Structure 1
Amino acid sequence: MQQKDIKRLTLYLLFAPFVLWIFLLILLPHIGMVILSLREKIAPRVYEFGLGNYIDFINEPIYWNTLLRTGSMSLLVTALALIIGFPIAYYIAKIAGNRSRGGLFLLCLIPLWVSDLIRAFGWILLLRETGVISTFLLSYGIIETPIEFLYNDAAVVVGLVYTVILFMIVPLVSTLDGMDNSMIEAGYNLGGNSFTVMRRIIIPYAMPGIVSGCIVVFMLTAGSYLTPILLGGKNSSWFTEQIYDQFITRFNWESGAAFGFLLLAFTSIVIWLGLKLSGQTLANTVAKS
């Protein structure tokens, strides 16, 4: 066997697990979901292909209102994660010393050491009527009666930001770490203040990391299930709850598949619009971040 053939075989073996992962766990399930969503049940165990499941979604306002509400809430969580995460990422990448960076990253990783379920129950212990925050305020006379901080949109937003903020910080740190400090110094030497340097130099340079982080955070937030259900309760409808209801409660897998594909299409359109508005491309964003 020639050296060229050995290199080619090695390349195939290295990429084989990745290709199998993409095909078996991403492409094949999505193809099956699309096919399943196009099946209409006309009699027991009798199906025909059509768009009835999508028509039912359009004709029921609660479904597409919930989808739009999920999208708007996910955008809010993404914006808050960016506002909170950018200063943290900038401090880690440009201000913190080499020794403290590892410790700061470790602090950011700690929430990922436990599952989403445990993190959600942690927030429940803090925010419930007899929880830590309400008890603290009551003991110091700040409030007269216990307050229920759970089961509203604010609790859901707080829980989701806490869950996804690391996925905003990591690409921002990766992008900002490659920025030459002389660019910032030049901005100040040319008479720019902190706001001007941030707006004209730092943010444009970090834009690939910003877009990459926003994409990951938005997709994770829109597809979240446990946090909205546990922290929002019945007062905070999330589209993933509608998907779960179709699959598990109603045993209507055809509608559940249609709803899942609609969520994927909706989030993809939002990301495409975000890339167009930011002037970025997906390839450049992923490559630079």
Structure 2
Amino acid sequence: MWLFLLIVLPHLDLFIMSFRAKDEYGQMGFSLQNYANFFAEPIYWLTFVRTAIYSVITTVFTFLLAMPVAFYIVKVVRPKYKGFLMVLLLLPFWVSELVRVYGWMILLRESGVVNFFLLKLGIVDAPLHMLYTDATMIMGLVYTSMLFMVVPVISVLESLDDSLIEAASDLGGSKISIWREIILPHCKPGITSGAIVVFMLSLGNYLTPNLMGGKNSLWFTEQIYNQFIASFNWNQGAAFGFLLLLLSSLIIWAGLKISRQKLGEVAS
């Protein structure tokens, strides 16, 4: 009942709202115009394409960082230290995303901590401009999404028998071949599950791109925000919201097809 009232009902209302638009006489009626506007205006669909591409890049970088971290926690570190390392991973998420993003901004701004030490050590002669770039934005997205990739990978790595790795090593397998033939295939469900979560979180993120990306880092959620808040065009904003949900679902479906996995297998 609460699920219906808090989630299903508001989304149903927005879905109906997305099909409402004014006709040439100024009367509100059923129309597909709000959805047509997305494809008619290049700024809208190009912003979505840009958002999707950068979300994929964020997912890739998150995986590259999360995989060795998860492997170290599960297979390298002593069992008595695993809980401590997991707490360290969870620690940043005890505060809101806004606080974490502002923390990075304090570190990276021209008068921030990083530039202070670079200047003191004589590495640079003038403060570096590190904020408000696409690279900084991606770094912030990776940081905010890291945990959601590490946890599912850890869960599947714990079921990997150490004897398989030892046997492959005894038979002359290199570290690269062991990772390619044993570890990565075993972790495939966890990697896919984490990738879906990270991709969706990045695609729907508003705060990090807006604060760390600057005015030139257009993000599709900003277009939705502008329609709802700046233009007071709730019908168009609702249409953009459902287009974001639909198109992101299609991208995930395509990714599952390419990786030859089923959503049920990943979810389990």
| TM-score between both structures, scaled by the size of structure 2 | 0.96
C-alpha distance in structure 1 between counterparts of 2:81 and 2:94, whole Å: 20
Which residues of 2 match residues 88-103 of structure 1 at below 5 A? 88-103=69-84
> Aligned to 1:163, which of 144, 160, 175?
144
Q: Tell me which residue corresponds to 2:172.
A: 191
Opposite residue 203 of structure 2, the aligned amino acid is: A
C-alpha distance in structure 1 between counterparts of 2:250 and 2:6, whole Å: 22
C-alpha distance in structure 1 between counterparts of 2:21 and 2:54, whole Å: 32
TM superposition shift of 1:161: 0.6
C-alpha distance in structure 2 between counterparts of 1:239 and 1:21, whole Å: 30
TM superposition shift of 1:45: 7.8
> Aligned to 2:258, which of 277, 280, 284?
277
Residue 190 to residue 29, structure 1, CA distance change in 2 (3 Å)? farther
Opposite residue 286 of structure 1, the aligned amino acid is: A
Q: Does residue 178 in structure 1 map to residue 159 in structure 2?
A: yes
Which residues of 2 match residues 205-220 of structure 1 at below 5 A? 205-220=186-201
C-alpha distance in structure 2 between counterparts of 1:140 and 1:130, whole Å: 15
Where does structure 2 lack aligned partners over 5 or more consecutive residues?
A: none
Q: Secondary structure at the match of 2:214?
A: helix
Opposite residue 144 of structure 1, the aligned amino acid is: D
Q: Tell me which residue corresponds to 2:57.
A: 76
Q: Tell me which residue corresponds to 1:259.
A: 240
Q: Tell me which residue corresponds to 2:43.
A: 62
TM superposition shift of 1:218: 0.5
Residue 142 to residue 189, structure 1, CA distance change in 2 (3 Å)? closer
Q: Secondary structure at the match of 2:29?
A: strand
Q: In the TM superposition, what whole-angstrom CA distance separates every residue of 1:11-34 from its partner, at most 9, and x where no partner exists?
A: xxxxxxxxx354333333332222
* CA radius of gyration, larger in: 1
Q: Does residue 116 in structure 1 map to residue 90 in structure 2?
A: no
Q: In the TM superposition, what whole-angstrom CA distance separates every residue of 1:79-125 from its partner, at most 9, and x where no partner exists?
A: 00000000000111111221110011011001101101101110110
Q: Tell me which residue corresponds to 2:218.
A: 237
RMSD: 1.5
C-alpha distance in structure 2 between counterparts of 1:87 and 1:277, whole Å: 24
Give the % identical residues. 51
Where does structure 1 lack aligned partners over 5 or more consecutive residues?
A: 1-19
Q: Tell me which residue corresponds to 1:4.
A: none
Q: Secondary structure at the match of 1:233?
A: coil
TM superposition shift of 1:165: 0.3
Could you tell which deviates more after superposition, 105-114 or 39-48?
39-48
TM superposition shift of 1:40: 0.7
C-alpha distance in structure 1 between counterparts of 2:145 and 2:25, whole Å: 43
Q: Tell me which residue corresponds to 1:6.
A: none
Opposite residue 116 of structure 2, the aligned amino acid is: T
TM superposition shift of 1:53: 0.6
